[in-house]
Structure 1
Amino acid sequence: MLAWAALVAAGVFEVVGVQGFQMLTRSRIVPGLARLVAGFGIGLTLLHMAAQQIPLGIAYAVFSAIGTIGSTLVGVFVWHETLGLRRGGWLCVVIGAIIGLKLCQ
């Protein structure tokens, strides 16, 4: 159970790292770089810890899915990007794929 908590936290920190990229593109160099390095550094460390108990294929897929979905939602709610029906539909496909991978484990 602790491995799954670490994996979810890793995904959340990936979203933090992606926010750093967004800050860099908006010329907020120092805080963006700090957020990017800290977010990805902590996220990958937690992913490594989780992968000690969860098969790597599942762990990485969940990590990536949390990052993808989380980054999209942050983009929509923080950076005012549009979600749209097609984009939302593909996010549902990502969620379904992760559930399918877990069920096949």
Structure 2
Amino acid sequence: MSWLFIVLAGLFEVVGVAGIAKMNKKLSFKNVAMMACGFLISFLFLTLAMEGMAMGTAYAVWTGIGTVGSALVGILFFRESRSMLRIFFILLVLFAVVGLKLIE
């Protein structure tokens, strides 16, 4: 269950970061709620995940999912750079997260 919790934590971190990006464009209750709820739920799942896995692994996977997910959301919805070099480094982070799963 810990791996499911950490994946959910990472996905909700992406929701929180997307909320920040939307707040930067327009400050509204909906955008603030999206940010706050995303991070609150993310921390809840991170806490649950850390009950069954090492803190370092949990944090590395959580931030990795958040980093890759936020970069992809930026590319897909906020017109951020799609350069090949940027995609290459995003893939490196993704491979590192998968590697942690394989050795855990």
TM-score, normalised by the number of residues in structure 2? 0.91
**C-alpha distance in structure 2 between counterparts of 1:84 and 1:43, whole Å:** 29
Aligned to 2:8: 9
Tell me the SS of whatever aligns to 2:91: helix
Structure 1 residues 5 and 101, CA gap change in structure 2 (3 angstroms): closer
Aligned-residue sequence identity (percent) comes to 37
Tell me the SS of whatever aligns to 1:31: helix
**C-alpha distance in structure 1 between counterparts of 2:5 and 2:103, whole Å:** 21
2:29 is equivalent to residue 33 of structure 1: no
Alpha-carbon RMSD across the aligned residues, in angstroms, is 1.4
**C-alpha distance in structure 2 between counterparts of 1:5 and 1:103, whole Å:** 15
Aligned to 2:76: 77
Aligned to 2:22: 23
2:67 is equivalent to residue 68 of structure 1: yes
2:84 is equivalent to residue 92 of structure 1: no
CA shift for structure 1 position 101: 3.5
CA shift for structure 1 position 71: 0.6
CA shift for structure 1 position 103: 4.4
Q: Is the 8 A contact 1:23 1:31 kept in 2?
A: no
2:45 is equivalent to residue 50 of structure 1: no
Partner deviation per Cα, 1:45-98 (whole Å, 9 max, x = no partner):
100000000111111111001111111111111112122111111112212322
**C-alpha distance in structure 2 between counterparts of 1:28 and 1:91, whole Å:** 29
**C-alpha distance in structure 1 between counterparts of 2:66 and 2:29, whole Å:** 22
**C-alpha distance in structure 2 between counterparts of 1:10 and 1:103, whole Å:** 19
Equivalent AA in structure 1 for residue 20 of structure 2:
F
Structure 1's unaligned 5+ residue stretches are: none
**C-alpha distance in structure 1 between counterparts of 2:102 and 2:53, whole Å:** 14
Question: After TM superposition, which residue ranges in structure 1, 4 or more long, deviate above 6 angstroms?
Answer: none
TM-score, normalised by the number of residues in structure 1? 0.90
